[in-house]
Amino acid sequence: MAARATFAALALACLAWPALAGERAAAKVACEPTGKALVWSCAIAVTARKSAEPVVADSLSVKADMPGMPMAHNLPPASAMPVDDMPGHYKATLELEMHGEWALAIEVDGKTAGAGARVRDKVIVKQEFGSGRMHGGHKHGSGHGAAPKQ
C-alpha cells in the first residue's frame, strides 16, 4: 500500500530572498496527496506584499528541497499552471522523494492584477509532507538521522 499521506497544510512564506526587481511576493501553499505515493497536488496563491494584490505570473516555478538534507535531493523545478478565473492562484504537481520537511522555493515573475506592478521574487515556503516522521523509510546517504533541525 502507498505510504500514508495525511498532511495537508497551509504555510505562510517565512523567508525570502531580497527582491530581484519590483515588489516582493508572498505565497501561501496548500498541498494534498494524490493517489500516487509521494506525488502531491499543491495550490499556490501569490500576492504582492505591499499591495496585497494577486500576482499574475508570466512564469512560476516550484523547486523542492529538503533543508535537513543538503545535497541529498536535486529535483527539477515544477512549473505551476494558473487556475482559470482565479488571478494569483496556481496549481503545481510535486513529485517528492520522501516524506519529511521540504522547502519549496517559489520563483515568480509577473505583475499585480490591478496596478500592473512588476513582481519578480523568490519565496521559500517550508512544508511538512507525509506522515510527519522525519526521514522515515528513506534510503539514501548516511547521517540523516543526526541532521540538525533548522
Nearest to 88 by CA among 65, 121, 60: 60
Cell triple for residue 36?
500516487
Minimum gap (Å) between residue 135 Cβ and Cu ion = 6
Options 31, 44, 46, 66; binder of Cu ion; rule CB under 5 A: 66
Q: Which region, judged by CB under 5 A, interacts with Cu ion, from 5-13, 45-53, 68-76, 115-123? A: 68-76
Residue 137 is inside which H or E element, if any? none
Q: Which region, judged by CB under 5 A, interacts with Cu ion, from 33-41, 52-60, 69-77, 125-133? A: 69-77
Q: Which region, judged by CB under 5 A, interacts with Cu ion, from 10-18, 22-30, 46-54, 64-72? A: 64-72
- Residue 57 β-bridge partners: 110
Please, which residue, 20 or 38, has the CB nearer to Cu ion? Answer: 38
69 binds Cu ion (CB under 5 A): yes
**DSSP letters of 21-87?**
EEB-EEEEEEEEE-SSTTEEEEEEEEEETTT--BEEEEEEEEEEE-TTSTTT--PPPEEPEEPTT-T
Residue 15 is inside which H or E element, if any? strand 15-16
Cell triple for residue 19?
527582491
Minimum gap (Å) between residue 73 Cβ and Cu ion = 6
74-113 footprint of Cu ion as x/- string (CB under 5 A): ------------------------x---------------
Please, which residue, 98 or 125, has the CB nearer to Cu ion? Answer: 98
Contacts to Cu ion by CB under 5 A: 66, 69, 72, 98
